Structure 1
């Protein structure tokens, strides 16, 4: 049995949906225990530990390759822990796990050099809209979280090009929703599985979990399966935003949206001068609470790098 890990760009990016689609293949199974594992999230501390050991051991006759093997072995222990969970099926090839975050993704080649990763992205404006509606996340914070994660993915794709090309498969939520069969077939082939073994008729009737639109009125988000309505469409909901929100999102996330092929919806110059949007951005960035958060992140990074 192998493990395939779904990493989502952020919460509300569709990791539940992609997971439920993939486990429809008879050779893929979900876990009944740890629903979101976050095994990559804090591996920088483990990596730092190995770096310190290497520094201490340099004065001895020591093969540097043993450190790399130790990291891979540590990753293997984590995989074994995931495999210890009870599963939805008895016989299968892949255990499907997921995490709605790219934090720690740069450590994947070190600790999981032979594992498969499905990297799920979604339009940052849709993610921000859903975070705001579902969990009352501040609009500006939601956009910042998505942009930071998008930049992390772009950096990972550039700095680990070979690993990304061989061990990772980039999935767009919009593509998987609009043409599930074609996208899933590509994913199954990436996993060396036969797409014809999957009953795609079941996928067309797949129920939805965690949708902010399909939850009962005045209730919090839950992850119980809900039958989708005929007009269910999670793409482009952010177009219900007022124009200033659309314009700011396009301005703030412009480069990252373009990088992943998402068209800009709001033409700033058509109704709101660019300097005003820029000014809104500056005011938001100078928010004392935001400055404090960024300072804490910077200090944490310095401590890890020491």
Structure 2
């Protein structure tokens, strides 16, 4: 593995979609989300054996379906290399030069990643926050209300904008999701130029990543070609009141990033606020159950798949 590309951004901004496009390149291997790679570092584990032990027990690693049978890794670099190499064998893409990681929280860990992978490059994906809210609220994790979604988006995007200022354009490329969808060839050529690789038309197919079963439902569009229908679907999925609430919280950041606002007028009543709070609490409890069930089902599926490959 000669180079690492870390794609990051606010969750539901298109990091997986972008990874699937890049993964279509013959030189690129796109792997599942790997929160464990930074979790283990923040645990302060220095010994390779302890790092490997922690990662193997991490549920995010388990859904990769990879078995590290004979790893002799002595340090962090070797542990990660072994994991990525085993995954490459699993998906039959051994002749790759670039590891593409699309974990959303990469954007909050860029300094840490840069320390461990000094030759890596970063891509920050930005998407209209209202589209992010419409996408994330129905899921079994993340913000449960429009207000939470607005603050969630503000925080994550701000990390990326600060990182862009810190690292500079040679190290970090910012890409808007809407531009990828509207003109994928142009944007992919820009990304390829940033990575010093040739553009390949196969990248446009969007099938450069094999989804773990854990994310099949929430990433059901992965594997299909970019469609402009995705850009403004939030307008049908959010109510006027929800749009107004989001814009009231995030209007400045939306403006800075070039997103036009609807400017609907809405002042929540006490009743509205009480309803929002009750919805937040009830969804929080329900989502814990839904997410736990989904993770357990995915782990069983990954174990079954791994056994069939052995």
Which residue, out of 91, 97, 104, partners 1:93? 97
Q: Greater Rg, structure 1 or structure 2?
A: 1
Task: Give the corresponding residue for 1:138.
Answer: 144
Asked whether 1:5 is paired with 2:2, we answer no
Distance 1:223 1:285, change over 3 A: closer
Asked whether 1:237 is paired with 2:233, we answer yes
Instruction: Tell me, in whole angstroms, the C-alpha distance in 2 between the residues paired with 1:208 and 1:26.
Output: 9
Aligned partners of 2:164 and 2:172 also within 8 Å: no
Q: Deviations over 1:95-128 (max 9, x none)?
A: 2122022332343343333211121121111111
Instruction: Tell me, in whole angstroms, the C-alpha distance in 1 between the residues paired with 2:226 and 2:191.
Output: 26
Which residue, out of 34, 38, 45, partners 1:37? 34
Q: Tell me the CA shift for residue 184 of structure 1.
A: 0.5
Task: Give the corresponding residue for 1:110.
Answer: 115
Say which SS state the counterpart of residue 253 (structure 1) adopts: helix
Which residue, out of 246, 262, 280, partners 2:259? 262
Aligned partners of 2:137 and 2:144 also within 8 Å: yes
Instruction: Tell me, in whole angstroms, the C-alpha distance in 2 between the residues paired with 1:278 and 1:103.
Output: 35
Q: Tell me the CA shift for residue 155 of structure 1.
A: 2.7
Instruction: Tell me, in whole angstroms, the C-alpha distance in 2 between the residues paired with 1:224 and 1:238.
Output: 17
Instruction: Tell me, in whole angstroms, the C-alpha distance in 1 between the residues paired with 2:152 and 2:259.
Output: 17
Instruction: Tell me, in whole angstroms, the C-alpha distance in 2 between the residues paired with 1:208 and 1:83.
Output: 15
Deviating more after overlay: 171-180 vs 112-121: 112-121
Instruction: Tell me, in whole angstroms, the C-alpha distance in 2 between the residues paired with 1:192 and 1:179.
Output: 20
Asked whether 1:151 is paired with 2:153, we answer no
Say which SS state the counterpart of residue 96 (structure 2) adopts: coil
Q: Tell me the CA shift for residue 24 of structure 1.
A: 1.6
> When the two structures are superposed, what TM-score results if normalisation uses the length of structure 1?
0.64
Q: Tell me the CA shift for residue 23 of structure 1.
A: 1.6
Aligned CA RMSD, in angstroms, stands at: 3.9
Q: Deviations over 1:1-24 (max 9, x none)?
A: 234334332322212211111122
Which residue, out of 248, 251, 255, partners 1:251? 248
Structure 2: gaps spanning 5 or more residues: 46-73, 211-215, 282-310
Larger relative contact order, structure 1 or 2 (CA cutoff 8 Å, min sep 6): 2
Q: Deviations over 1:231-270 (max 9, x none)?
A: 871112221222111111111112222232222x2224xx
Say which SS state the counterpart of residue 190 (structure 2) adopts: helix
Q: Following superposition of structure 1 onto structure 2, how do residues 42-191 of structure 1 map, counting pairs within 5 Å?
A: 43-44=41-42, 46=44, 76-77=77-78, 79-87=80-88, 88-101=92-105, 102-135=107-140, 137-139=143-145, 140-158=147-165, 160=166, 163-191=167-195
Say which SS state the counterpart of residue 84 (structure 1) adopts: helix
Task: Give the corresponding residue for 1:199.
Answer: 201
Distance 1:227 1:112, change over 3 A: closer
Instruction: Tell me, in whole angstroms, the C-alpha distance in 1 between the residues paired with 2:134 and 2:249.
Output: 15
Distance 1:130 1:284, change over 3 A: same
> When the two structures are superposed, what TM-score results if normalisation uses the length of structure 2?
0.64
Distance 1:207 1:7, change over 3 A: closer
Distance 1:266 1:284, change over 3 A: farther
